[in-house]
Amino acid sequence: MSIGPYRIDPDDPRAPPQEVWERLTPEERARIVAGLPSEFPVSEAAPPEGDPHFVAKVRTREVLGGFFTRTGRKVCLACELPVYYPGERMFAPDVIAVVGVEPHKRMSWVVSAEGKGLDFALEIHVAGDRRKDLERNVERFARLGIREYFLFDRGRLRLTGWRLAAGRRGYRAILPQQGLFASEVLGLDLRVEEERLRFLHGGTPLPEADEMIAMLERRAQESDVQRTRELQVRAELEQQVAEQSRLLAEETRRREESERQLAEALAELARLRGGPG
């Protein structure tokens, strides 16, 4: 596909080099972004890795998305979103995060069009050759300036992290502290817990979907119990008020009867005193 001075190769789709991008008109840029594939060429498509891989990446996006929504922080999160750096081969990490941008739906992340590259990348390895994640990605992501890169080895239940130091073009390993790997980009800690990758804020794990559902169900049950107790207390109070009203009415009746009897007695006394003498 040729657009202005640039041609998209369907077998090796790439965004234009930055110097070419800057010479394009806004209309040509928009057509290039729309024309870049949102999936890998068939010759490069990775084999499916099954439920463990799918569940791990989707769970990560849901947990992080829920946290950033609750805290009001703008972070674009995506799973296997095609990423196009200027003149580079397209790639699609399992999970990406870009801080400070609107998290609307995208078909791809074109760095020249967005005006910003990735801040965070996470790969989840389940099976196959680990060299892509442990070697090639480490070199490539550092060269592209991706600030943090984490690898969750689901098969070995091992977590590894790298970060770009200021003024360096190579990664330095993130050393865990008491089993926690700190992510400066996310403002969270990471650790492997049983067979899951967990994210923590202030030492507290972020709740996952099943945990959120269980918590809401527990709160609903507690709310039902509380409501039942409140209804019982209300019924007891109403019963007490009714009993007090009955006693007050009975006391009023007795007082009125006593006053009537006293009036009759006084009347009889007056009659007797006023008789013939």
Q: At what angle do helices 50-71 and 209-273 cross, to 10 degrees?
A: 50
Element (H, E) at 102: none
Percentage of the chain with pLDDT > 70?
A: 89
* CA-wise closest residue to 207 among 65, 54, 51, 52: 65
Q: Which of 150, 172, 206 is the last residue of a domain?
A: 206
Q: Domain residues for 214?
A: 207-277
- The residue with tokens 């709740």 is 207
Residue 206: its pLDDT value, please? 95
Q: Which of 154, 187, 206 is the last residue of a domain?
A: 206
Number of helices (H) and strands (E) in the chain: give both, helices first.
7, 14
Residue 211: its pLDDT value, please? 65
Give tens-digit pLDDT for 60-90: 999 999 999 999 999 999 999 999 999 999 9
Residue 229: its pLDDT value, please? 78
Give tens-digit pLDDT for 216-252: 667 766 666 677 777 777 877 788 887 888 877 888 8
Q: Which of 206, 237, 263 is the last residue of a domain?
A: 206
Shared-domain flag, residues 114 and 243: no
Shared-domain flag, residues 85 and 216: no
Shared-domain flag, residues 6 and 93: yes
In this predicted structure, the answer to whether residue 182 has a pLDDT above a threshold of 70 is yes
Shared-domain flag, residues 75 and 131: yes
Q: Which residues contact 137 (CB under 8 A, 6 or more apart)?
A: 121, 123, 149, 151
Put simply, whether the predicted model's pTM sits higher than 0.95 gets the answer no
Shared-domain flag, residues 250 and 274: yes
Domain count, the chain: 2
Q: What are phi and psi of 50, to 5 degrees?
A: 85, -175
Q: For the range 211-216, what are the long-range contacts, defined as Cβ-Cβ under 8 Å and sequence gap of 24 or more?
A: 212/66
Residue 46: its pLDDT value, please? 60
Shared-domain flag, residues 152 and 267: no
Rounded distance, CA 114 to CA 76, Å?
12
Which amino acid is located at 260 in the chain? R
Shared-domain flag, residues 48 and 101: yes
Shared-domain flag, residues 234 and 119: no
In this predicted structure, the answer to whether residue 47 has a pLDDT above a threshold of 80 is no
Rounded distance, CA 95 to CA 184, Å?
16
Residue 8 belongs to domain with CATH number: 3.90.1570.10
Shared-domain flag, residues 225 and 249: yes
Shared-domain flag, residues 182 and 222: no
Rounded distance, CA 214 to CA 236, Å?
33
CA dihedral (45, 39, 199, 208) positive or negative: negative
Residue 215: its pLDDT value, please? 63
Shared-domain flag, residues 89 and 181: yes
Which amino acid is located at 49 in the chain? E
Give tens-digit pLDDT for 147-172: 999 999 998 999 999 999 877 778 99
In this predicted structure, the answer to whether residue 48 has a pLDDT above a threshold of 60 is yes
In this predicted structure, the answer to whether residue 51 has a pLDDT above a threshold of 70 is yes
Residue 110: its pLDDT value, please? 97
Shared-domain flag, residues 192 and 214: no
